[in-house]
Structure 1
Amino acid sequence: MAVSVERFHPHYPDMELLDTDAIATREPSVTAGRRGQVMAISIANEYTAVNSHKLARSFEQQVRVLRPDYEIQLGCSVRAIHQGEHGFRIDSDNGSLLARVVVVSAGGHSLLFAKRMGYGKHYACLPVAGSFYHTPKLLNGKVYTIQSEKLPFAAVHGDPDLLEPEMTRFGPTALVLPLLERHNWRTLADLLRVTQPDLPVLKVLFTLLGEAEIRRYMMRNILFELPGIGKRLFLDDARKIIPLLQVEQLTFAKRVGGIRPVMIDKQALKLHLGEAQINPGTGIIFNMTPSPGATSCLGNAAKDFATIQELMA
């Protein structure tokens, strides 16, 4: 762990290596009742969470003030995107728009639009839903457990809930669902269009299930969703962070969490971990597999904007 601090410290100057006593001063619930000594990497003087909904709203409001000549259309569905000789035609519920450059950031549906236009044929989609549990406020900041190298899913972590200040949120779980959008069964048909169960897709899935640790992990995460037994099983994972946590303190966070469409690379026969983008260089960009917590959304937007400037030059 000390080696990791030395490696990353030039990029994160506020990073510190904490021993048990130092952890106890910042996160007493993490050390209370814990046996043995522990260490942690900490960054104390940086923002670690943003209300992305309010951030997006603020961008919208600023655009309306600074550029009243810009048109913003919200709450409408894009039916199709057509590529022509001089750009693109976007058909939506509000009519059609013409554009020289288009950026599609719609999760798994980005891949659906890409395939309709003949791009991304070597990709399929594994939709992974994330759920969370709430407790009374137990943590002052974000606390992450160590990620297993064999698992392609995020390790459990706990953090204050921005929308519920008196709550701490633990998760995510990882449940494979046949949907492109959580709680919307109409997207089942879209998933079937994006991911046809051909031989490369089946090979990737069988390889995943061939790992005993992944099989156990996926089975536990299915059980996490069940009433009663779910939170008792999840308690073991949450106690990695809060050793004295009691099952009575856990409450399943209903309708919290969405779906992350993990890309399956059918040519390389493996999961494409992290974010994925299709940019054929024709003026259209497809962003898939967004960061679940919008961690790098502004960084991605800046990169896309730089690409747009090049295309518009």
Structure 2
Amino acid sequence: MEEANEKRLIIVKQLPEFEEHLHLIKEEAEKRVADAMQMVVSEETVKTVKKVRAELNSEFSALEQSRIAAKKAVMEPYERLESIYKTCVTDVYGPANEQLGSKIADVENGLKEAKKEKVKAYFEECCVAANIDWLKYEQAEITVTLSASEKSLKEKAKSFVSRISSEIGLIETQEHADEIMVEYKQTLLLADSIRLIQRRYEALQKEKEKKERIAAEKALKAAAAAKVSAECAEQNPPQANPAPPAFKPPTETTVQQRMDESVEMAPPAAQKEPVPSNREILQLTFTVRGTRTELRALKQFLTEGGYDFE
């Protein structure tokens, strides 16, 4: 095998000589470029400078062609070698490496899974002993590797359950333990869970005190307003206005009595002075309210009395 490896060695002998030629070209190129850069570009010399620039570009293009040709000449044998190498080496070793790796992974994953199941079973036993029925194995975040011993992994599981049990005991001594436990089951962060519930109740207490303060202020304002109103009422008592007498519609008897009184109050006819032929006619306007029967009686009285009315 060692003899075969020695035969596969590739030695390039012409590269140093080729590299020496490049150094020689570099010195000449730097000199020509330096001469060109010292030229003054003006309206009179611009054509000359353009000609020098074209010559430099032509030289550079020729060198590039030489480089590309050299690269192709060098790469052709290597590309043929690479094709043979792929067929004889890569295509042989590559699949073998992948297949063996897959088989090894299957065995190692099986070993890790078996170890994980044992650790998980021990974890659940610890939970039962600690009277914790909600804790999950995944929450412990125990990484099972081939190098880690089963004993060390079980110690991690036991330590984790013990810590959770201790923190549960501490939570049970806290105010608002039920709310804290709800948060703790989600995060397993004791300090954060306690702090969160404490801040929540502090915020609720502040809101309650704010509402009570506002209600007290409203009550004080209402009491002050009532006191001022009472004082004003004592200083300026309201004067009662007598209620107007209730209207009683005139009856036929009442109208007759009033007419009789008017007649009695009038002076006797013998004492009156002679009434001139052109007596003065006066008009009296008033409103009478009563039932339909009462109003009809009044109308009949006026008609029979010879009064001119509308």
Normalising by the residue count of structure 2, what TM-score does the alignment of the two structures yield? 0.15
Select the structure with the greater relative contact order (CA < 8 A; seq sep ≥ 6). 1
Which of the two has greater strand per residue? 1
What TM-score do the two structures reach when normalised by structure 1?
Answer: 0.15
